[in-house]
A and B are shown apart, each in its own frame.
Chain A
Amino acid sequence: MKLEREIEVINRLGLHARACASLVKAAVQFSSTIALKHDGQSCDAKSIMGLMMLAATQGTRLTLVVEGEDSQQAVNRIVELFSDRFGEEE
């Protein structure tokens, strides 16, 4: 099943390296393909370099595109990470 979801980067530092790392860690748990799109750029959420090079700052809106058997679980998990601000304090 293919799912699309809009998400916003709410943590102050944006998609910084540690945030990207936890995103990759979560994404590789799923068999679905997981992509994040921004401004016509699309990257594989299982690649830390791709995520870092998206350069998504606080307030950036991204489109999450997930396709595969476990797409619903993958969407839930990834949305949760964004809402938790990747564990960032402020």
Chain B
Amino acid sequence: MLSLSGTGIGRGIAIGRAIVLDHSHRQIPEFTLSEDAVEDEVKRFRDAVARARTGLLRILDSIPPDSPPETHAFVDVHLQMLDDPVISEQPVESINHERKNAEWSLKTHADTLIAFFDGIEDPYLRSKKNDVHQVVDRVLAELLGHTVTDLSRLDDDLAGYVVVTHDITPADTVTLHQRGMTAFLTSLGGPISHTSILARSLHIPAVVGLHDAVRYIRNDDLLVIDAANGSIILGPDDAVLQEFRDRQQAHREEIASLTLLHHQQAITQDGIQVALLANIELPEDLKLLAPAGAEGVGLYRTEFLFMNRSQPPGEDEQFETYCQVLDTVSGPVTIRTLDLGADKQVDGGRTDGERSINPALGLRAIRLCLNEPALFKPQLRAIFRAATRGNARIMIPMLSSLSELDQALELVRETHRELAKEGVEFNPHVPVGGMIEVPAAAISADLFARKLQFLSIGTNDLIQYTLAIDRIDDEVNYLYDPLHPSVLRLIYRVIEAGRSAGIPVSMCGEMAADPEFTRLLLGLGLREFSMEASSLLQIKQLVLNTTVCDLEKTAKDALQCLEQDRLRNMVEQLNIDKVSTV
């Protein structure tokens, strides 16, 4: 038995036999053409491009109608790249001028393109070099006279098989999925590559980024894959195999039972009621609330109303939109005021044209709103007017000092006075809360709590600011850790501040949607979670299976824990009888 690990994609357990494909070490011949061979070589190259194109079109045709919509898009991207002269014409110049063979001309040209992508700062956009690789590989395969991943040699029925290879294109992922492939493992790839995104939506368990570890796997090896944590067991013994079969079964049953939970209230075994709310951006997102059983909206990101237009939306337009949301949702709707800033600008907003070097620390959110009351006041007016229609709450983002809070609250009162004076119908009792996402606010949460009617912990920024880590940056994101003792202490501090002040505390960052942390947070006293609707039922099920009074001691002990490894063990303890994660 041997264990390997990489980046797990999706969840669930897969058991199957390996089919090892390898096309990564293809030798690319290099030679100089005789003058009269150049014309034929250009034709040979163009024919190969045309065949690669036909191959992609065939895949596009064979995508089953019930596939996720992005499936077509991924194949389309490759078709367009193939049609782009940058890929399909520029090598011709090198064949003509340098008289190099087609494979070599294409390969050297592709290397230049890939080197360009390697220089891109943004990790996500940089990763698109894989698409260049994959498209070029298709043409190379045609030139060298064999199919891309040797898929044609494979049996049509891949049920029970795990495909192991250097890399899989999105198109091949679809083909293999249609043939019933159980799972796949690749040396390349990361959590946000196209193939991984597709695997998640097709519910194919996969482990990517295994690097050289794939070399340990031989054809027909029996593999057990736990996609949730990216681990693979090679040649499991009978006991291990049985354990995973049981977990696989439990996992299937759980998926089926989750959908039954949407009507049920989220109450723990010891009778504690937990509020589970949804995060939304646009009124269209509201249709996701009922199937997920969300009790309301814990975070309504209003900035999307303001983006990509020459003028900010007027008070009446905002009023209409907020009414639409409040009319649809019976529970609370937490409207976060504008979180625009240096990185999310209204067109025609700031005129100086200067961009902050470090947008996350710049003039954003409440800082920008206080700086530009002409932008902020119409939003406040629209919210207070719409609040006669439903259960609205206002949440102020990015608070870092009490004077900012005082200024914001003064603007709230001023808006009330103006509306009253004008005789406009409005609700003066809208609760005002603060988003606690800057460490300064978390440390002094007790002071903020005295002036606010609720607090909401924004963990994404709180973790990023506390640990000084840009988590989009793949060179440091390994340091991004919700279980860092300093993060946990800040979270606990905010929860305690709310409790002493007698006001609710909710959490609306990604941590609230992660089942690993649900029990820890319940143990620390959190009673309100807001998340993407798609995660809600899973968290609800966990709440239903939790006895909070059993967790409190371990959760508080975790705050005193200095060693990260021990802390992780404690969290595992809390989750010990947790039903398998879906």
Contact A14:B122 (CB < 8 A) given known A6-B347, A82-B308, A90-B281: yes
Measured CB to CB, the nearest residue on chain B to A84 is B308
Question: Which of B80, B86, B120, B345 contacts A55, CB < 8 Å?
Answer: B120
List residues 111-143 of chain B with CB under 8 A from any CB of chain A: 113, 116-117, 120-122, 124-126, 128, 131
CB pair B128–A16 under 8 Å, yes or no, is yes
List residues 42-77 of chain A with CB under 8 A from any CB of chain B: 47-50, 52-53, 55-59, 61
In this complex, which of B70, B281, B343 has the most chain A Cβ atoms within 10 angstroms of its Cβ?
A: B343
Interface residue? B309 (CB, 8 A): yes
Q: Which residues of A contact B307 (CB under 8 A)?
A: 8, 10, 83
CB pair A16–B124 under 8 Å, yes or no, is yes
Contact A16:B125 (CB < 8 A) given known A8-B307, A59-B359: yes
Interface residue? B81 (CB, 8 A): yes
Q: How many Cβ-Cβ contacts under 8 Å join chain A to chain B?
A: 83
> Which stretch from B6-14, B15-23, B71-79, B383-391 is at the chain A interface?
B71-79
Cα distance, A31 to B113, chains bound together (Å): 28
Cα distance, A18 to B344, chains bound together (Å): 21
Interface residue? B540 (CB, 8 A): no
CB pair B344–A10 under 8 Å, yes or no, is yes
CB pair B308–A50 under 8 Å, yes or no, is no
In this complex, which of B74, B128, B309, B342 has the most chain A Cβ atoms within 10 angstroms of its Cβ?
A: B128
In this complex, which of A15, A48, A82 has the most chain B Cβ atoms within 10 angstroms of its Cβ?
A: A48
Measured CB to CB, the nearest residue on chain A to B120 is A55
List residues 88-121 of chain B with CB under 8 A from any CB of chain A: 113, 116-117, 120-121
Cα distance, A83 to B344, chains bound together (Å): 12
CB pair B359–A83 under 8 Å, yes or no, is no
The DSSP consensus for interface residues of chain B is: helix
CB pair B347–A52 under 8 Å, yes or no, is no
Total interface residues in chain B, CB < 8 Å: 34
A17: shortest Cβ distance to chain B, in Å?
Answer: 5
CB pair B124–A49 under 8 Å, yes or no, is no
CB pair B125–A14 under 8 Å, yes or no, is yes
Contact A7:B308 (CB < 8 A) given known A14-B124, A59-B343: yes
List residues 340-376 of chain B with CB under 8 A from any CB of chain A: 342-345, 347, 355, 359
Contact A49:B81 (CB < 8 A) given known A8-B307, A8-B347: yes
Interface residue? B177 (CB, 8 A): no
CB pair B85–A13 under 8 Å, yes or no, is no
Q: Which residues of B contact A57 (CB under 8 A)?
A: 121-122, 125
Interface size class of A (residues with CB under 8 A): 20 to 34
CB pair A13–B86 under 8 Å, yes or no, is no
Cα distance, A7 to B346, chains bound together (Å): 10
Contact A24:B80 (CB < 8 A) given known A49-B86, A59-B359, A82-B308: yes
Interface residue? B508 (CB, 8 A): no
Cα distance, A58 to B194, chains bound together (Å): 19
Contact A83:B121 (CB < 8 A) given known A17-B77, A21-B76, A58-B343: no
Cα distance, A59 to B121, chains bound together (Å): 14
Cα distance, A82 to B309, chains bound together (Å): 10
Interface residue? B292 (CB, 8 A): no
B509: shortest Cβ distance to chain A, in Å?
Answer: 13
CB pair A21–B347 under 8 Å, yes or no, is no
Cα distance, A32 to B126, chains bound together (Å): 30
Interface residue? B84 (CB, 8 A): yes
Contact A59:B345 (CB < 8 A) given known A8-B307, A47-B84, A53-B117: yes
Cα distance, A71 to B73, chains bound together (Å): 26
Interface residue? A79 (CB, 8 A): yes
A42: shortest Cβ distance to chain B, in Å?
Answer: 15
Contact with B along A19-33 (1 / 0, CB 8 A): 011101100000000
Q: Which residues of B contact A24 (CB under 8 A)?
A: 80
Cα distance, A49 to B116, chains bound together (Å): 11
Q: Which residues of B contact A16 (CB under 8 A)?
A: 124-125, 128
Measured CB to CB, the nearest residue on chain A to B309 is A83
Q: Which residues of B contact A56 (CB under 8 A)?
A: 125
Contact with A along B285-326 (1 / 0, CB 8 A): 000000000000000000000011100000000000000000
Measured CB to CB, the nearest residue on chain B to A13 is B124
A60: shortest Cβ distance to chain B, in Å?
Answer: 10
CB pair B73–A52 under 8 Å, yes or no, is no
CB pair B125–A15 under 8 Å, yes or no, is yes
Q: Which residues of B contact A83 (CB under 8 A)?
A: 307-309
Interface residue? B536 (CB, 8 A): no
CB pair A21–B308 under 8 Å, yes or no, is no
Cα distance, A53 to B116, chains bound together (Å): 8
CB pair A79–B359 under 8 Å, yes or no, is no
Cα distance, A10 to B304, chains bound together (Å): 9
Cα distance, A59 to B150, chains bound together (Å): 42
CB pair B343–A21 under 8 Å, yes or no, is no
Q: Which 3 A-B residue pairs are closest in the complex by CB-CB distance?
A: A83-B308, A49-B86, A59-B343
* Other A-B pairs beyond A14-B125, A18-B70, 20, CB < 8 Å: A10-B344, A16-B124, A17-B128, A17-B131, A18-B73, A21-B73, A21-B76, A49-B81, A49-B87, A49-B113, A50-B84, A52-B117, A52-B128, A55-B122, A57-B121, A58-B343, A58-B344, A59-B343, A61-B345, A83-B307
A-to-B contact residues, CB < 8 Å? 6-8, 10, 13-18, 20-22, 24-25, 47-50, 52-53, 55-59, 61, 79, 82-83, 90
14 contacts between A and B (CB under 8 A): A10-B307, A10-B308, A17-B128, A18-B70, A18-B76, A21-B73, A22-B73, A48-B81, A49-B81, A50-B86, A52-B131, A57-B122, A61-B345, A83-B309
B-to-A contact residues, CB < 8 Å? 70, 73-74, 76-77, 80-81, 84-87, 113, 116-117, 120-122, 124-126, 128, 131, 194, 281, 307-309, 342-345, 347, 355, 359
